[in-house]
Amino acid sequence: MIILNLATEKLKHEINIKLIYLIIKRTFLILIFLMIFISLVLYFYKNTIKLLGNEVSKQYDIFKKNTDKYNKKSIEVNTLINDAEKINSEKINWTLLFKNVTDLIPAGIKISALTINKEKIVFNGLAKERTDLLNLRKNLEQSKLFLEINFPFKNISEKDNINFNIEAKLNLIK
């Protein structure tokens, strides 16, 4: 087979330029379509991210409202617990106090009235003999529960069947 080259150099040059132009044109068209495609994808991603961001913001607001409500409730509960602890720390173990007081009273003493508050105790009663009353006084003075015992002289002025009144400051150790 014989190949004939009938085209002139000028025509060959024009054909080469047209081919290069066609290649460049197709390349630009492909690039334009790629840029349009990428722009559309990015646009949809942007809108999707925006919608997700709005949803996250709404969920955060709901979460914040709920946590604020629970924070307020936990503060209230903590306040109640602190108040209860304060009350418990200030309470007096009355059973133990009465047991300790009754252990100090000798057999010949009958208590007719016992007045107690957080600071002092008042004993009113009847002692069969003066020695019983003196033993009660001695027991109270030796006990760590009482301070500043007020034992009036009239309590020991009689010998038998003595009505007495004794006041003492309480020394309550928490």
Q: For the chain, give every domain's residue range.
A: 10-91, 94-170
Q: How far is CA 174 from CA 16, 133, 171, in A?
A: 108, 29, 10
| Number of Cβ atoms within 10 Å of the Cβ of 108 | 15
Q: Is the pTM of this model over 0.75?
A: no
CATH assignment of 94-170? 3.30.1360.100
The amino acid at 141: E
> Which positions of the chain have pLDDT values less than 70?
89-90, 173-174
Q: Classify burial at 127, counting beta carbons within 10 Å of its beta carbon; exposed 0-12, middle 13-18, buried 19 or more.
A: buried
